[in-house]
Amino acid sequence: MTVLPSDADAIRARVSGSSFYTAMRLMPKVEREAMFAIYMFCRLVDDIADDGTRPRPARATALAEWRRDLDALYAGRPAGQASFLREPVQAFGLQHADFLAVIDGMEMDVVADIRAPDLATLALYCDRVAVAVGRLSTRVFGMEEAPGAELAHQLGRALQLTNILRDLDEDAAIGRLYLPRELLVQAGIEGAEPDAVIADPRVDAACRTLAAQALEHFSAADRLMRSRPRGSLLAPRLMAAVYRALLDRMLAEGWKPPRQRVRIGKPYLLYLVVRCSVFG
């Protein structure tokens, strides 16, 4: 059995009730424990990146310690804080490069607060913080290499873009703005100061353009899953359904200020669980 860090219960409580936790509970025990270990890793390194109480050099050092521990894990040496990943890595062939990619993404937030990145930088960020996690996950789902990588790419980007669109106000509160510069300029917004951008009614146009990109990724992921590749796909189907519902609600409500953060209630989440379980 995977031995999780001492703060596992606290992180489990934070995610309890979410669509991710619901998806994990639907999986067999070994796969469920592996997915929670991956989530734990992502949560721990993300908390380092978002820790505004520590100076940037201290956060960079903490991420470097994770790199060293992962190197030790894959070299068969004592792995310190990464030890809880040993069993999932061995059981599912999780790739060293994917864990490092996640840290690379967190480091982008540590070096400087991301503000209106160009589209290429946003794509790189999404690949690191979301697609890499997808590649780890599809190995746990038992998918073959090519369809697994494609699902990770399409669904990972769809989920991350939806998160960006949902978290505008929360990100701005910590000095970040992930909306791409090109889409802001296209909407008539020249600046990159988070509070000013999200207070501009024209931000709605930029968000709708980014939402269209997310919809394209959702559609591509759905087509791939409907082709029935090998693997257990209930969890990604549920995640896609929940996040697509969130995006649809945001599109209906728009992004003009003032905004309210959209949520999926438990009754609708249960409906999606049943729908995905029965109809795929």
pLDDT of residue 15: 62
* pLDDT tens column, 2-36: 666 666 676 666 665 566 677 777 788 999 999 99
pLDDT of residue 246: 96
pLDDT of residue 27: 85
Model confidence, pTM: 0.92
Domain ranges of the chain: 1-112, 115-280
Quote the tokens at residue 132: 């890499």
pLDDT of residue 1: 57
Assigned CATH topology for domain 115-280: Farnesyl Diphosphate Synthase (1.10.600)
pLDDT of 63 above 90: yes
